[in-house]
Structure 1
């Protein structure tokens, strides 16, 4: 897939901005006599067990001849030393000397202070937004394994802001994926308002899936009586689909229903939500009704599914 030229230009503008912001155009880094490349080499040696020159070339994508000159300068200044591997004298490990370790402690402290100075003018919310954005960039561009279910953190405590964010996600995702209009978001707002008016953990539960402290999936059980409950607001963010998250959310919701001994659970959806429908059927729901409707800017069928305990 080729990159959009507007995206390319936006990233280039950000690169220029961030380079100025943290002083990467300075000849020397962190008020030290070292260049950025030299500091990166020191950092890798400090944080890599049994570090070799070959590992540095691979991890830093640095020219071998340039690295050799850096290492010779470090050894000359008593910052780095080499020791032969116990199993192969031809392999020599790089390590920081006592002087080198003290230097790295100083550089680490300066780096932390520099980042703290960048963040200091920002509010707590803005700082968190910056951190989340950087985590997203790292995740998207790194070569690490794809996100898997064990990476997701689950909770069911309903906190201030959760309902508002879920309303936002419903409005945004359904508009993009099915073309629902503002009437749908108003409907979601009203249903959440009704739910929160009567919410009590003894009969109701919202299951939230989070990644990097952001909600990426949800479902809820609303208890209507001692015997009956409703499953509502199943949602999985597009980035988290295909890892079994939707199935787990529905399973957790139905386990809660069994725990509370609900005999009858129902849900309302549309015939357009085919992926979710498969999850409901797998969980033991049965389609009981289809009613043609004109709503949310579409002509569709409202579908009712029901589950009954045996």
Structure 2
């Protein structure tokens, strides 16, 4: 184990100790209601999990089945939950909250909301945003492989301060990591955004920005060139590929071109972007020119594709 890894581990352990203390403070407040944090979590899962069973709770919460069983028995005696036999399997019992249980959980949720509000209220708006964004990021990277709910992804085309800078940054690190492009490519993207923002016409130009948990995860743009439109900045964060987001962005851009009655749309790319090129071809783009481009890496060929509309 090298020194860098040891330092990373120390930072993670320090954060664990800190956040365990935060959770302990919240737990003590919840105990005033005679329910522990674990018990409230079980009630929450029963409310939100369709056809919930004790087996599902054990698997989802990673809690001992005996402990789960004891808590469920307590809940039944307190009138918080009820059991209903499955019509498909008479051996299974579905768990659901009673009216008393729903009321109890609503009180706990309101109390929890108030506690969290009191914790973050002294923070600046930026700090609140950053805290929530980083928590979502931690959850995402530690649950790698967990399906991303596309309903949680939003797409906007209103340009906000900082968008161009962040998208330029994304181009820089993604193309370096995946294609070993030099910083000259990031400079090229920055210059293209400078020109775009200087001449931006919301009636003919558009930038679509995909966000998840208030973080930019993808984009695509259309720039007016008279009767022709140029497609630019088509990019997805690596964690959000393969869920149909790229196709949705590309379709939105092409629909916009049809709406604005452009006669054609073109794009410039490089020969090493095989996945993107395959998508362009499926959508009807045809390669019209190619030329060497040694600006970003030694062995690149720049390609231009065009689609008649």
Structure 1 residue 235 corresponds to structure 2 residue 220: no
* Aligned-residue offset at 1:124: 1.4
Provide closer, same or farther for how the CA distance between residues 81 and 252 of structure 1 changes in structure 2, counting only shifts above 3 A.
Answer: closer
Contact 1:51–1:95 under 8 Å retained in 2: no
Contact 2:204–2:224 under 8 Å retained in 1: yes
Provide closer, same or farther for how the CA distance between residues 172 and 93 of structure 1 changes in structure 2, counting only shifts above 3 A.
Answer: closer
**Other structure's SS at 2:147 match:** coil
**Other structure's SS at 1:23 match:** helix
Name structure 2 gaps, 5 residues minimum: none
Distance (whole Å) between structure 2 residues aligned to residue 280 and residue 83 of structure 1: 54
**Other structure's SS at 2:159 match:** coil
What is the match of residue 266 of structure 1? 266
Point out the more displaced range, 241-250 or 173-182: 241-250
Contact 1:28–1:36 under 8 Å retained in 2: no
What is the match of residue 121 of structure 1? 122
Contact 2:31–2:37 under 8 Å retained in 1: no
1:223-276 deviation digits (Å, cap 9, x = unpaired): 121x12211111111112123332332232222222222223322222222222
What is the match of residue 276 of structure 1? 276
Matches within 5 A, 1:149-228: 152-225=153-226, 227-228=227-228
Distance (whole Å) between structure 1 residues aligned to residue 261 and residue 53 of structure 2: 61
Distance (whole Å) between structure 1 residues aligned to residue 307 and residue 92 of structure 2: 69
Distance (whole Å) between structure 1 residues aligned to residue 27 and residue 261 of structure 2: 66
Point out the more displaced range, 49-58 or 232-241: 49-58
* Aligned-residue offset at 1:307: 2.6
**Other structure's SS at 2:257 match:** helix
1:115-162 deviation digits (Å, cap 9, x = unpaired): 122212321122122222333344455599623656543232323322
Distance (whole Å) between structure 2 residues aligned to residue 67 and residue 16 of structure 1: 26
Distance (whole Å) between structure 2 residues aligned to residue 36 and residue 52 of structure 1: 20
* Aligned-residue offset at 1:58: 4.8
**TM-score, reference length from structure 2:** 0.78
**Other structure's SS at 2:24 match:** coil
What is the match of residue 301 of structure 2? 301
Contact 1:210–1:216 under 8 Å retained in 2: yes
What is the match of residue 15 of structure 1? 16
Matches within 5 A, 1:6-85: 10-23=11-24, 29-41=30-42, 43-44=44-45, 56-67=57-68, 69-70=70-71, 78=78, 80=80
Greater helix share, 1 or 2?
2
**Other structure's SS at 2:284 match:** coil
**TM-score, reference length from structure 1:** 0.78
**Other structure's SS at 2:294 match:** strand
What is the match of residue 248 of structure 2? 248
Contact 1:52–1:94 under 8 Å retained in 2: no
Which protein has the larger Cα radius of gyration, Structure 1 or Structure 2?
Answer: 1
Distance (whole Å) between structure 2 residues aligned to residue 158 and residue 235 of structure 1: 16
Distance (whole Å) between structure 1 residues aligned to residue 263 and residue 20 of structure 2: 61
Distance (whole Å) between structure 1 residues aligned to residue 84 and residue 151 of structure 2: 40
Name structure 1 gaps, 5 residues minimum: none
Contact 2:53–2:94 under 8 Å retained in 1: yes
C-alpha RMSD of the superposition: 3.7
